[in-house]
Amino acid sequence: MERRLTEERITKSIISWLEKNGWVIVCFDFPQSGTGKILHSNTRKDSLKNRNAIIPDIVAAKNSKVTFFENKDKFILADFKKVENLKKDNGYSDSINNLLSSFTYDRIYFGVGLPLDDKYTKKALGNKSRVDFIVSSNGDIVEITYQSENIF
């Protein structure tokens, strides 16, 4: 019986791949881990606590580049839209600047991690304009499916 590829397994395999390639993991999160860093909207009202907050699955830094990952165990269009909003809107800049205060960087890239599977890859590539990169994993192997420029 084939083991289902979970978001946690995808996240862990991408973290391992990033570290092997010289990236520093700033923070990470996967379902039920409680390890993530919360990004609050610049316009957050304290009475709304975590409303509209975003918890990136992986934030990694290398050579003046920072990557923000949203990982899933299947293609979900809403997550591509969420990444697109984070990429295009400066609405979380205060939290991002605070998170990255000890790093020097020139550019931040926003993308997704997905299972290495043709059915998800085809849908993801149809929405590549929404993200800076798409990384795919089968739990062991990690492949760069798309990158808008030389990120990795």
SS3 content of the chain, % helix, strand, coil (to 5): 30, 25, 45
The whole-model pTM stands at 0.92
pLDDT, tens digit, 9 for 90 and up, residues 42-57: 886 654 566 678 899 9
Query: Are 115 and 106 a contacting pair, CB within 8 Å?
Result: no
Condensed to tens digits (0 to 9), the pLDDT of residues 93-117 reads 999 999 999 999 999 999 999 999 9
Residue 53 is predicted with a pLDDT of 83
Domain 7-147's class?
Answer: alpha beta
| Three-class DSSP category at 26 | strand
